[in-house]
Amino acid sequence: MVADALGDADRSVADMAISLLHELREVLMPSPVFGAKLATAASSERVEVRSAAVGSLWRHRLADLAQLKCYCNDPAAAVRREAVLGMVSLDALEDLGAAATDAASEVRAAVASGLATIGDPRGVTTLTKLAADDDHAVRAAALRAMATTGCPPEAAVVAREALRHPSWEVRTAAATALAAATGPLAMEGLVEATGDANLDVRKAAVRSLAPWAVNSHVVRSVLEGCADDPDADVRAFARIALRDATRPQMEREEI
């Protein structure tokens, strides 16, 4: 049995079992015995074995929230990250909020991405905190997630400030987040971002500005300028936004 092999004294055998758990994930038939073996492997001395066991437990629906919370106390970030992914599968917003303070950036980033997967607007409180994280990857993940959960006023202020962050990945994510925001603060930030030195930031800003073009002469004017951008993608998205903004209302509704 694959789960049995996780505890083999020969590391090469255990490593093969880890690979098989990944490769055969869709065809393995979970059973109480399989779950018990995985639970035993989840306390292995080897991080790789514990991580694979916890990952298999939640993916086969063999771990409940209480177990996943215990795994969140594992000394290895890789195991804690798997526990977070398991919490995502259970839509455990409150516990994900607690995991957002994890010492490892990879775990915090998993929380942010997980909240995007869940898509619940209540997750934006945690995302707003993560959007001010010291780690650039965590910030970017949190900001991107806001495009899914929504970007209410408090979050929009954070995203607006992030448009000036030194990291282009963070600025791009901030422009993406503001697609879900409303109000002049978001629009003004996106207009400013269309002049960013990085083409990915400009592209994200143009795409996020598109909905405003229908009712804003200022936005349409900015997009007309973007239609001459040095980057082909930016030009294309600007022209698409202008085209859609000038379609008759009835035609837009039909689409």
Which CATH number does the domain housing residue 103 bear? 1.25.10.10
Per-residue tokens: 87:
């919490």
Domain boundary among 127, 148, 180: 180
Question: What are the C-alpha distances in Å from 47 to residues 9, 174, 213?
Answer: 15, 35, 52
Q: Are residues 133 and 166 in the same domain?
A: yes
Does the pLDDT of residue 144 top 50, yes or no? yes
User: 173 and 88 share a domain?
Assistant: yes
- Contacts with 68 (C-beta within 8 Å, 6 or more apart), sequence order: 54, 58, 83, 86, 87, 90, 92, 95
- C-alpha 114/C-alpha 77 separation (Å) is 16
Range of the domain at 251: 182-255
Nearest to 109 by CA among 91, 75, 134: 134
Number of domains the chain is built from: 3
Q: What is the pLDDT of residue 254?
A: 44
Pick from 165, 180, 195: which residue ends a domain?
A: 180
38 and 9 within one domain: yes
Q: 244 and 190 in one domain?
A: yes
Is residue 72 in some structural domain?
no
In tens, the pLDDT along 55-109 reads 999 999 999 999 999 999 999 999 999 999 999 999 999 999 999 999 999 999 9
pLDDT at position 9 is 77
94 and 125 part of one domain: yes
Contacts made by residues 95-98, CB under 8 angstroms, sequence distance 24+:
95/65, 95/68, 95/69, 96/123, 96/126, 97/123, 97/125, 97/126, 98/72
Among the candidates 158, 180, 202, a domain finishes at 180
Report which residue type is found at 224: E
pLDDT of residue 248: 55
Question: 131 with 145: CB under 8 angstroms?
Answer: no
pTM for the predicted model, two decimal places: 0.89
Q: Which has the closest alpha carbon to 181: 128, 238, 253?
A: 128
